[in-house]
Amino acid sequence: MVMGVLNVTPDSFSDGGRFASVEAALVHARALVAAGANWLDVGGESTRPSAQPVAEEVELARVLPVIYALQGELGMPMSIDTRKPAVARAAMAAGASMWNDVTALTSAPDSLKMAVEIGGPVVLMHMQGEPATMQDAPRYKDAAAEVCAWLDARARVAMAAGVRREAIWLDPGIGFGKRLEHNLALLRHLDRLVALGFPILLGASRKRTVQHIDPTAADPLDRLGGSLAIALHGARAGVAMVRVHDVRETVQALKVQAAILGDRTAKAAVTTS
Ligand code: HH2
């Protein structure tokens, strides 16, 4: 599945300010749907490296009018990309159906309780540190093993608090407190994450990882080729959904890959090729 990114922010790293008005966001949402998105991920706070937190009222004022306007119209589910439990609750009441939390329900004392109360699916993403400082000095001995163990532990904590197992998604958090070698290790060992038995969301679209491999791609808009390569790799490794900005191109790339692979499952393709 393909999740289209809808950033209703002035400062997101690749499209900040482009869809900050309700009208622009609605036009873009419809375009993402027409391009073949299965989900829309609505966000009102950038979590790019060095980003500063946004006040709750500001975040609510950005996302709620868009979710209200879109619910019922699009015929597809929306998620709310937020660290704040109150924003998640309001967005779900307005029509969103999944909470995408880049802090894996650790950012507020009542995050776990709120996830239980909301009852819908929740994405638990791995991040080392905070967006403001996460790229200063990320450290791992074995990034793939540590991220898998941490996400597995967070899933267990969520379930112990009362979140249903079927409601849990995991995400390795590409670029969130990770250097190139850490991101590559995570991508190389996605099968370990898949083996935990939860659906996996993978978000690498336009991220600096691509620039670290191709230094000519300083502009996020020049990172489409690398973003597609990662999405295709993720699908072959068994991730359930990729979070992307370029929906049309990603859907096309995935369709072509699926046609080439025929009816072999993504996992079988990985183990037999
Ligand atoms: N990446 C971003 C934001 N939210 N959520 C999940 N689950 N996984 C991700 O990889 C992820 C995410 C960053 O991308 P973007 O929303 O385009 O940028 P910004 O945070 O600057 O708004």
Domains and CATH numbers, the chain: 2-271 (3.20.20.20)
pLDDT in tens, 17-38: 899 899 999 999 999 999 999 9
pLDDT score recorded for residue 131: 87
Please name the residues in contact with 193: beta carbons below 8 A apart, sequence gap of 6 or more.
Answer: 147, 148, 151, 170, 172, 186, 200
Look over the chain and give the mean of its residue pLDDT values, rounded to a whole number. 94
3-state SS, 135-156, equals CCCCCCCCHHHHHHHHHHHHHH
For residue 41, the SS3 value is: strand
Q: Is 209 in the pocket of ligand 1 (CB under 6 A)?
A: no
- Of all atoms in ligand 1, which is nearest to the CA of residue 201? 7
User: What is the mean pLDDT of the segment spanning 169-176?
Assistant: 98
Would you say the CB of residue 47 lies under 6 angstroms from ligand 1? Answer: yes
How far, in Å, from the CA of 145 to the mean position of ligand 1? 22
Nearest by Cα to 9 from 70, 72, 77, 66: 66
Confidence band of 265 (pLDDT split at 50, 70, 90): low
Left (φ > 0), alpha (ψ -120 to 50) or beta: where does 271 sit? Answer: alpha
Which residue matches tokens 């375009």? 31
CA distances from 247 to 30, 44, 143, 257 (A): 12, 20, 29, 15
Is 7 a pocket residue for ligand 1 (Cβ < 6 Å)?
Answer: yes
Task: Say yes or no to pLDDT of 273 above 60.
Answer: no
Residue 135: what pLDDT? 87
Total residues found in the chain within this entry: 273
Q: What is the pLDDT of residue 272?
A: 36
User: 253 vs 19, 41, 194, CA distance in Å?
Assistant: 25, 20, 21
pTM to 2 decimal places: 0.94
Active-site positions read 207, 243
Angle at 127 between CA 125 and CA 131, to 5 degrees: 120
Residue 165 is given by DSSP the state G
The residues, ordered by sequence, that sit 6+ positions from 207 with a Cβ below 8 Å of its Cβ are 174, 175, 220, 223, 227
Sheet holding 39-43, edge to edge: 168-171, 122-125, 98-101, 78-81, 39-43, 2-7, 241-244, 201-202
CA triplet 204, 206, 210: central angle to 5 degrees?
80
DSSP 8-state assignment for residue 53: P
For residues 134 and 189, which has the higher predicted lDDT (pLDDT)? 189
User: Measured between alpha carbons, how far is 79 from 93 in angstroms, rounded to an integer?
Assistant: 12
Lowest-confidence pick of 49-53, 118-122, 157-161: 49-53
48 CB less than 6 Å from ligand 1? yes
Residue 263 above 80 pLDDT? no
Whether residue 61 is predicted with pLDDT greater than 90 in this model: the reply is yes
Torsion of CA 260, 265, 269, 270, to 10 degrees: 130
CA distance 100 to 80: 6
Strands of the chain, DSSP E: 2-7, 39-43, 78-81, 98-101, 122-125, 168-171, 201-202, 241-244
pLDDT in tens, 195-206: 999 999 999 999
Mean pLDDT in residue range 10-15:
91
Q: What is the pLDDT of residues 232-259, one digit of tens each?
A: 999 999 999 999 999 999 999 999 999 9
For residue 93, report the distance from its CA to the centre of ligand 1, in Å.
Answer: 22
Mean pLDDT lowest for which of 66-75, 154-163, 214-223, 256-265? Answer: 256-265
pLDDT band at 132 (very low <50, low <70, confident <90, very high): confident
Residue type, 36: G
What is the structure's pLDDT at 166? 97
